[in-house]
Structure 1
Amino acid sequence: MLYKSFNNVCVLSVPLIQISESKTLEELRAHCEPLTDYMATAGCLRCLSTLMDKDKLVEDILRFQVILRVRGPLQRYLRRISWSEEGKGPTKLGDLLAFSTGSNVIPPMGLTPAPTIEFQMGKYPIAYTCANCLRLPIHHRYEDFKMNMDFGIQNTQGFGMI
């Protein structure tokens, strides 16, 4: 089943295992009780009338936890970035996305794992695309930072995308 493969990934793995392994409707309801607020937030709160409801419930909770919970913050983050410098240099938002994730578009199901930014001593940015991690160089002057970011991103061919 779908939820078996996510047990080690999901923060809610113990409650989800308990829900998925419930043997009676009463046991299912008892395991769901502590998650009532979470399920309401996730849009998964429902009346459990049969034991068969557990599979769909676990699937919906996982969909929220793994996909939907990450999509909103990422989209807000990308909107919040001030692109007042956009158009003043060679690097565009799509270039930065391709450099840091290996994809020139945000996938419909979001990015997994969630993107992270780290800071490092060095001259140029480094991307770990499998981990969706962008390491930014620390500079004393913004002009140096921007110049080295543009150079680092523009001189990376990246996965055959031109």
Structure 2
Amino acid sequence: MFQAVHRVAGAFERFKEGLKVLGVLDAIKMHPESVRPLMCHEPSTLTAGVMDHRFHILLSEVGSYRRRTEEVVVPFWRDYLQDVEDQEGPPELGTILAFATASAMANTCINCLKLPLLETYDDFKECMDFALGNTQGFGRQ
């Protein structure tokens, strides 16, 4: 009770007083639903498209052998995200996000996930499923 209510009560009252100065508090009270998206977090569904936009893909130099291999793997990554979204059961998209940001296989200083450079989607999928299914990362259960 202290942490959630009493400790922040003073700051909350100052916030409300600030909103009163320009009449914003009254407007909020009159139209609470129009202000809700600005003041309250609304959880959104994690989709393959959202996951794809969460990751910025860095490729090697144009013309290099490694770049050609990486360009083959990028569609594998996107197909894998879509497959995970479409299937029932583990792994889930949230598992991939947690893996990429909290696993020892990822660079946790910059949240970098290095994808396996494989020639076929089946090999890529098998490798990703194995990695996601066999890591707990930083003591997660």
Q: TM-score, normalised by structure 2?
A: 0.39
Q: TM-score, normalised by structure 1?
A: 0.34
Which structure carries more strand by proportion? 1
Query: Which one scores higher on RCO, CA 8 angstroms, separation ≥ 6?
Result: 2
Choose 1 or 2 for highest CA Rg: 2
